[in-house]
Amino acid sequence: MEPVTVLKSEYKKYTDEEQNKSAVCEISSALGTAIVEAMQKAGVASVPTAGDNAIKISLSAGGKEYLIASINYNFDLHLQPGETAIYCTNATGTAVQAKTHYKQDGTVENTGTAINLNGSDKSFVTHAELDSALQTLVNALNTHIHPTPSGPSSPPSEAGTIPSPGIGLFTLDISSSATTTVKTGG
């Protein structure tokens, strides 16, 4: 096992015989430079950035070398005991671009410029935006008038009065549709 520094890396086939791509890194250590494959936990893939510190192991069978862990010390992710964060950086590894933070209290916090859920062709409407638009519609319905032979009608009034017998004013309450488990700042 040997501490190393990542010089550069890219997501590609490690050798021509490989079926799939992985993170392939050029590393530097006290023993010189080498090209190694970054072995990662199944289900998680990343490409280390230049300057990341890492651990390299050599296997006696086949003489293959692997990068087994890397860390970028450029940021403090502000994690508490029991918390986990998954994040990505810019290409130089100097700024966090997006992060999912799993907090002690069960909250999952996402930061980034956008979150695309199953594509990006539909928009998410917040409760406040929808309620405001619907209340504007209700107000328009409650204040509308009609042209009549004797002049414009009056807006609708309380139920059972002229000119809209039995209809009255419209109301709309969507407060029970507000979610408390999915929140957004945008």
Residue 161: predicted pLDDT: 45
- Please state the rounded mean pLDDT for residues 93-108: 93
CB 182: neighbour CB atoms within 10 A?
8
Q: Taking residues 123-140, what's their average pLDDT? A: 85
> What pLDDT is stored for residue 169 in this prediction?
77
63 CB-contact burial (10 Å; exposed 0-12 / middle 13-18 / buried 19+): exposed
Question: 135 and 175 in contact (C-beta within 8 Å)?
Answer: no
Unique residue bearing structure tokens 């590609």: 12
Question: What are the pLDDT digits (tens) for 144-178?
Answer: 888 888 888 877 765 444 454 455 677 888 888 87
* Same domain, yes or no: 43 and 54: yes
Q: What is the mean pLDDT of residues 128-148?
A: 87
Structural domain total, the chain: 3
| Residues of the domain holding 18 | 2-71
On whether residue 59 sits in a domain, the answer given is yes
Q: Mean pLDDT across the stretch 5-14? A: 90
pLDDT at res. 33:
92
DSSP string, 57-88: EE-TTTT-EEEEEEE-TT----PPTT-EEEEE
Q: Are residues 107 and 58 in the same domain?
A: no
Task: Please give the model's pTM, rounded to 2 decimal places.
Answer: 0.61
| Residue 122 within any structural domain of the chain | no
Using pLDDT thresholds of 50, 70 and 90, give the confidence band for residue 62: low
87 and 67 in one domain? no
Question: Quick one: 13 and 57 in the same domain?
Answer: yes
The answer, yes or no, to whether residue 7 has pLDDT greater than 90, is yes
Same domain for 14 and 63, yes or no, is: yes
Higher pLDDT among residues 7 and 14, named by residue: 7
Residue 183 lies in a domain: no
